[in-house]
């Protein structure tokens, strides 16, 4: 049977008493494959594994539980190896790399922050804060909207002002949070988003991070959404030994 892999921890005697349930309809028990001072948390891989909510949560819960007492290098959902021997061979080959990463990520968690403007509310904010744009908008309204060239020129001015607001608000969100993090990882940025960033934060500063994120949510609440996901296992900060 194939082996499902959750993540990598340091090998120590405390793992012998760890009792966790993993993915699959029958919640397969988690065991540890050991080699050269590191250990992989694994279970039997269920057939036809799909990214269902129950299994996604089970995967993450194993990592969160392990992370309470152990530094953990989380693997993304769906990592399957041929068998336990193949997992042990991987650990043996790259034990030094994993050991260094475990030192780096000990007692660290990840927060992902996504922020985006609410389009109509951001537009109203731009017009409210820019006296020139506000006056020009009123002039065009009084002229029945103006001719096509005037409308196009005004639209370009508004678009530039919205883009400038987006740039400033991205800095407003990122600056204070970066000050509470040890490292960041930028994710793909969908159109209209201010940021999609993961932050590596020491557990001792997690509450400070959440408080600051809450303050930013409140500050921008009239025209932007700031969503925080975490604390999470530090997925975004695990590097491959093959890079």
DSSP the chain: --EEEEEEEE--GGGGG---B-STTTTPBPEEEEETTEEEEEEEPPTT----HHHHHHHHHHHHHHHHHS-EEEPPTT-EES-HHHHHHHHHHTHHHHHHHHHHHTTEEEEEEEEEE-HHHHHHHHHHH-HHHHHHHHHHHHTTT--HHHHHHHHHHHHHHHHHHHHHHHHHHHHHHHTT-SEEEE----TTEEEEEEEEEEGGGHHHHHHHHHHHHHHTTTTEEEEEEEEE--GGGPPPTT-
242 lies in a domain? no
Residues 91 and 162 in one domain: no
- Do both 114 and 233 map to the same domain? yes
Whether residue 243 is contained in a domain is answered as no
Q: Is 151 within a domain?
A: yes
Domain end marker among 82, 106, 130: 106
Sequence-ordered list of residues with C-beta below 8 angstroms from that of 25, at least 6 positions apart, any chain: 46
Choose one of 91, 106, 121: the last residue of a domain. 106
Are 154 and 140 in contact, with CB atoms under 8 Å apart?
yes
In a domain, 194, yes or no: yes
Backbone angles phi, psi at 170, to 5 degrees: -60, -45
Question: Do residue 48 and residue 131 come from a single domain?
Answer: no
Domain boundary among the residues 72, 106, 140 is at 106
Query: Would you put residue 145 in left (φ > 0), alpha (ψ -120 to 50) or beta?
Result: left
pLDDT tens digits, one per residue of 54-111: 899 999 999 988 888 778 999 999 899 999 999 999 999 999 999 999 999 988 999 9
Pair (118, 49) in one structural domain: no
Per the domain annotation, does 126 fall within a domain? yes
Residues 99 and 147 in one domain: no
149/225 same-domain check: yes
15 and 123 in a single domain? The answer is: no
Q: Residue 129: which domain range? A: 110-237
136 and 72 in a common domain = no
Any domain includes 49: yes
Same domain, 115 and 223: yes
Six-digit token pair at 63? 């990592």
If asked whether residues 88 and 156 sit together in one domain, one would say: no
For the beta carbon of residue 215, count every other beta carbon within 10 angstroms: 12
Number of domains in the chain: 2
In a domain, 68, yes or no: yes
Gyration radius from the chain CA atoms: 24
11 in any annotated domain: yes
Whether residues 127 and 188 fall in one domain: yes
Regarding whether 31 and 43 lie in a shared domain, the answer is yes
Contact present, 227 and 118 (Cβ < 8 Å): no
pLDDT tens for each residue of the chain, 243 residues long: 799 999 999 998 888 788 898 898 888 899 999 999 999 999 998 887 888 888 999 999 999 888 887 789 999 998 999 999 999 999 999 999 999 999 999 889 999 999 998 888 888 887 787 766 766 666 666 656 666 766 677 678 777 888 888 889 999 999 999 999 999 999 887 777 889 999 999 999 999 999 999 999 999 999 999 999 989 999 999 988 876
Nearest-angstrom CA–CA distance, 172 and 165 = 10
């Amino acid at each position: 049977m194939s082996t499902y892999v959750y993540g990598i921890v340091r090998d120590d005697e405390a793992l012998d008493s760890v009792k966790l349930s993993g993915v699959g309809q029958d919640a397969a028990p988690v065991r540890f494959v050991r080699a050269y001072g590191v250990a992989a948390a694994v279970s039997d891989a269920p057939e036809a594994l799909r990214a269902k909510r129950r299994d996604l949560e089970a995967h993450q819960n194993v990592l969160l539980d392990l992370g309470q007492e152990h530094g953990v290098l989380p693997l993304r959902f769906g990592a399957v190896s041929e068998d336990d021997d193949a997992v042990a061979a991987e650990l043996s080959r790259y034990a030094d790399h994993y050991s260094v990463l475990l030192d780096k990520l000990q007692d660290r968690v990840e927060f992902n922050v996504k922020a985006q403007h609410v389009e109509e509310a951001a537009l109203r904010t731009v017009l409210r804060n820019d006296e020139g744009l506000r006056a020009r908008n009123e002039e065009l309204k009084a002229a029945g909207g103006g001719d096509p060239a005037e409308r196009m020129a005004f639209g370009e001015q508004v678009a530039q002002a919205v883009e400038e607001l987006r740039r400033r608000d991205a800095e407003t969100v990122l600056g204070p949070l970066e000050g509470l993090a040890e490292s960041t990882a930028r994710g793909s940025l969908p159109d209209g988003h201010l940021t999609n960033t993961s932050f590596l934060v020491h557990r001792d500063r997690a509450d400070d991070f959440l408080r600051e994120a809450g303050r930013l949510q409140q500050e921008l609440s009239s025209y932007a959404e700031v969503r925080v996901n975490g604390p999470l296992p530090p997925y975004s900060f695990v590097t491959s030994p093959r890079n």
